[in-house]
Structure 1
Amino acid sequence: MSEERRTPLDVLLTEIRACRACEAVLPLGPRPVVRAHRDARILIVGQAPGARVHASGIPWDDASGKRLREWLGVEPDTFYDASRFAIVPMGFCYPGRGASGDNPPRPECARLWLDRLLAELPAIRLTLLIGQYAQRHFLANARKATLTDTVLAWRDFGPAVLPLPHPSPRNQAWFKHHPWFESDVLPELRRRVAQQLA
């Protein structure tokens, strides 16, 4: 792509992918994983890539991603079409392992890049907030006391935002104990996604 035909978003994504701000504290080194296009109508905000996604460079390229695509009712070809889905985690690089799973996303990404990136996505009509870190950032004081309460109150956030739990296999007990998520939230999620993809 010639320099004059590169959009501001292309330039920004190149900057993000070259970011080394957290290099000293990332156990596997920096590898920002993000996808975006100015025409995308659906924004998926997760937490941070896992080790498998770090290795492949493909967002949601793991068991969590398989479940997420099932929730959305979309095939991989659609999911990975950046002109349909922008995939922007709260932390762009794998943060390493903690005591009970992966570490939280590095806070530097949101400070350095998030507002600039969102400003280049004018077509977004539906934002899916996956997990507590995305919900804390985007919903701020509107979020409830717990992730469960926030997801349960999904109707409170209007037609353009939907808070979701993380689709990780580690959350199997949560799905079992909250059957309303499958019966009430998932059909609404699929309806909103289909509406934006139509």
Structure 2
Amino acid sequence: MFKKLTITAFALLLLTACGTDTTEENVSTTTQPSTVSEVNMTNINNKTSAVGVSSNTQNLATNGDLTNPTVSMTEAVNIFKEAYPDAKIESIDLDTEFGRLHYDIEGFDSSKEYEIEIDATTKEIKENKVETDRRDTNESLDFSAIIDPAEAIEHASKKTEVEGLSPTGWSLEAEHGKQTYTIEYEKNGSDIEIKINATTGKILKVEIDD
């Protein structure tokens, strides 16, 4: 009788042990997919963040910087001078077209007028026009006397009409014996132009075109 009780007790202990092992294994198996799922979500989130950063960087590169372009105004002028050493420059524009920042430089000599479009990132000449009919009213720029475009933009940005705005373009020209910067902005569908004396930095006029 004692032997039967001993065998029965031993069998119960074995069953209890097996049950405990099975339970622990099930718990471990159940929690494992949760861990894998969290890792996968982390990878997805990291990939999404990386794509976002890449997209923002590309947009910034496309838009360009009017206050600090890759190709400076001086470099653009030198490119024009290499093409036409004897020509004088009457106007320079820095503008964006289809997301591309470029210079438009116009000049003249005794018999012809010239216009060159230069990529403000690569220095590549995109257009090169020559006209044989020269106007008698052409005036040339004196680069030794003018302020830097970035300084002209700084003066323009102090006006309340363009507070918080970034310029969309600028131009420099000689007209009626004066050298003048025109800094361009857009606000709520309106074009705003601020004219600045290119020698002194004084603001001459604010024009708003509705």
TM class, shorter-chain normalised?
under 0.3
Q: Which has the higher contact order (CA 8 A, sep 6+)?
A: 1
The TM-score, its normalising length taken from structure 1, stands at 0.24
Q: TM-score, normalised by structure 2?
A: 0.23
Higher strand share: 2
